[in-house]
A and B are shown apart, each in its own frame.
Chain A
């Protein structure tokens, strides 16, 4: 048992901390947020130069090592600064699917571009009626000669507005919730029959709902073997879940720290409000929630890196996301309450931290979903 960071992890943490300190103060972030693409291409290039885009990939794929703990270390720091660049959609989710499912030639084509920061990707997974069940896929992939035709609707596609290419989860066989018959296809973002309805999510990130109507693609655009993608999809989504959970831990700690600082300076009735025990104990509760969330996300990251079986890994991820979700509501709401009215304003970072964790609570399955998944598995 070893809970300390490796030298590489320490360097990674230092590197992200330095970046956000120098490039991501709240006003800079506001400017990035207001831009059309909702993130900075220059920052994305910097991510590539710093080697961050290699972190989710195995060494044999040319990556940094692909450890969930490395990702956790990075994401926590990115979270504290509310970094907007689409690291999880492109590098963790899409990159993970390519690395896990792709043939050698598909990997050789795509992975170097991802790691070099030359490609923006998005995974079109969820559908209007699927909620968080990854096996629930109504989008069809019909073979017509040497082509495949895709039809269906995808929602909440993260980075879906900006992606050059899409990875579309579709069903090539079986009925709606069968575990077999699910495939992942690589599709150009501007292919005929694709209608992207772009929007910003509640946390300011860019996303899209995507309609696929008679989208014709070459059959070899299927990642790996047709119909066998679900298990890998679940693994990749589990890893992405740990990544945003770690981001959430970073944000909750930022909320706690800002709340404590604020209460020490804000005076009412002639004294700092931090002197009121009714508020002190609520900050103690926030601290406890932060520590429990951090502990269980660490557990999930370590389990993903361990020799545990698939069941234990997915249970650990669900335990973490479920517990984090409770902490998100508890810490987020208390942070606003203790700030009072000023915490509700768009001007203060507190509201933006609150909005991002609220999005995290929903993404890849909310507290209820993951509690149920933990109980069932």
Chain B
């Protein structure tokens, strides 16, 4: 048992560092450093650079464009990406729909969809949640009725992230109303340009243009776009969830947040002639958070190690989701604390690309409240933390 990297792994780490230092575009990096929201063009440009290097889809099988990396290499890659703030590819295509297509799709579907994901030619979004199907996702009501070589889809999907940019949406739809609720669901790929689709933005409390409601009104979808068998969609969706837990804890991201927090607290006056970073009560909170993050990091490494020796990541990885989101949210609270009055101005547009006004506050402190608001989502989405606890109870503790 040891946590050291081998010579080869250290060389790989250097290779990743060198690549990121030279190829992560300076203008995008500056936006990340100054907390400016990245637009679709920025994201696509960066993903294409990753793809040119062959690093767009580390988890895919090599024959489809994967890297063939070990779990340790993937860990190193994520760590280095997080360290300099390079964004991960948008997950909906490469991390979510692709594994389902790879596992259950036909050869034709793989050829149709996978290359466009790798090359960032198609932007994918997710159609899972509905207004009345959240934690109880299987109660979803969007219907797909077979009509010749088409399905006719009707219903509403919600909490759809960045669907305003999307070319495609993968949806869970009901194809059998008579069966048990989990057994009447199918997995359908839908072209966002299809007639009858309306994307309505949902404004969140931080003012961000991030999520949408997607309405389907008699949308015609070719049966060729069905994944696997009709009414087996729930199984496919679950497989997607259990297999895609890499980097779910977002340790490198939170590490970067904490480092940033320590830097700004070192410059920030405490109002009594000293700096906030030197206030013992504040330093204690930061230390506790760093310690929790270390525990989380090693919990994640243990999960990865189990995968390396051929075991699937177990339901234990629900821990990573719960603790990862809780620690990240605590970092947000501390930013809010450091910001003080600078957290009060509500000027979300100043974090948009091309803002020409006079900015209020600086960087991550000016957005402290907005980040705090926005990141309340992380313990809600992806299976709420309470649902994760249900999983632990059922699958680990046998309750």
Contacts and interface: CB of A to CB of B under 8 A. Distances in A.
B291 A319 contact: yes
A323 B393 contact: no
A102 B234 CA distance: 66
A302 B295 CA distance: 13
A4 interface: yes
A167 interface: no
Contacts, number: 121
A93 interface: no
A295 interface: yes
A287 B302 contact: no
> What 8 pairs across the A-B complex have the smallest Cβ distances?
A3-B305, A375-B287, A295-B298, A284-B389, A296-B295, A295-B299, A292-B295, A284-B392
B283 A1 contact: no
B397 interface: yes
Nearest to B316: A291
10 contacts: A1-B3, A1-B72, A1-B75, A3-B305, A69-B1, A284-B390, A319-B290, A322-B291, A374-B290, A375-B286
Contacts of A299: 3, 294-295, 297-298
Contacts of A302: 1-3
B146 interface: no
A4 B393 contact: no
Interface string B1-19: 1111100010000000000
A302 B2 CA distance: 5
B204 interface: no
Contacts of A374: 287, 290-291
Please indicate which of the listed interface residues A1, A285, A299, A316 has the most CB atoms of chain B within 10 Å of its own CB: A1
A293 B389 contact: no
Contacts of B396: 287
Contacts of B296: 292, 295
Contacts of A303: 3
A131 interface: no
A307 B10 CA distance: 15
A3 B319 contact: no
B393 A281 contact: yes
A285 B319 CA distance: 9
B301 interface: yes
Nearest to B288: A371
Given A1-B72, A2-B1, A260 B397 contact: yes
Interface in A301-324: 301-303, 305-307, 316, 319, 322-323
B114 interface: no
A9 interface: yes
Contacts of B3: 1, 299, 302-303, 306
A260 B287 contact: no
Interface in A57-114: 69
Given A1-B305, A280-B389, A284-B393, A319 B2 contact: no
Contact of B398 (A4, A260, A298): A260
Given A6-B1, A298-B298, A285 B389 contact: yes
Given A3-B302, A306-B3, A374-B287, A323 B295 contact: yes
A37 interface: no
B330 to A, nearest CB: 14
Please indicate which of the listed interface residues B1, B389, B392, B396 has the most CB atoms of chain A within 10 Å of its own CB: B1
B322 A2 contact: no
Query: Chain B interface mostly helix, strand, loop or mixed?
Result: helix
A316 to B, nearest CB: 8
A266 interface: no
B323 interface: yes
A291 B396 CA distance: 12
**Contact-residue size bin, chain B (C-beta under 8 Å from the other chain):** 35 or more
Contacts of B319: 287-288, 291-292
A267 interface: no
B301 A4 contact: no
A283 interface: yes
B309 interface: yes
Nearest to B3: A302
Contacts of A301: 1
A274 interface: yes
Contacts of B75: 1
B229 interface: no
A128 interface: no
B291 A274 contact: no
Contacts of A293: 295
Contacts of A306: 2-4
Given A5-B1, A298-B302, A306-B2, A284 B290 contact: no
B261 to A, nearest CB: 14
Interface in B1-47: 1-5, 9
Interface string B240-253: 00000000000000
B136 interface: no
B1 to A, nearest CB: 5
Please indicate which of the listed interface residues A288, A323, A372, A374 has the most CB atoms of chain B within 10 Å of its own CB: A288
B4 to A, nearest CB: 6
Nearest to B70: A1
Contacts of B88: none
A375 B322 CA distance: 25
Contacts of B298: 295-296, 298-299
A264 B295 contact: no
B275 interface: no
A322 B291 CA distance: 8
B397 A284 contact: yes
A288 B320 CA distance: 9
Nearest to A316: B294
Nearest to A374: B287
Contact of A4 (B4, B9, B297, B305): B305
A1 B286 contact: no
Given A2-B1, A283-B397, A299-B295, 19 more contacts: A1-B3, A3-B302, A6-B1, A280-B390, A280-B393, A281-B393, A284-B389, A287-B392, A292-B295, A292-B299, A292-B319, A295-B298, A295-B299, A299-B298, A323-B294, A372-B284, A374-B291, A375-B284, A375-B287
A295 B393 contact: no
A260 B398 CA distance: 9
Nearest to A287: B392
A288 B2 contact: no
Contacts of A287: 319, 392, 396-397
A211 to B, nearest CB: 35
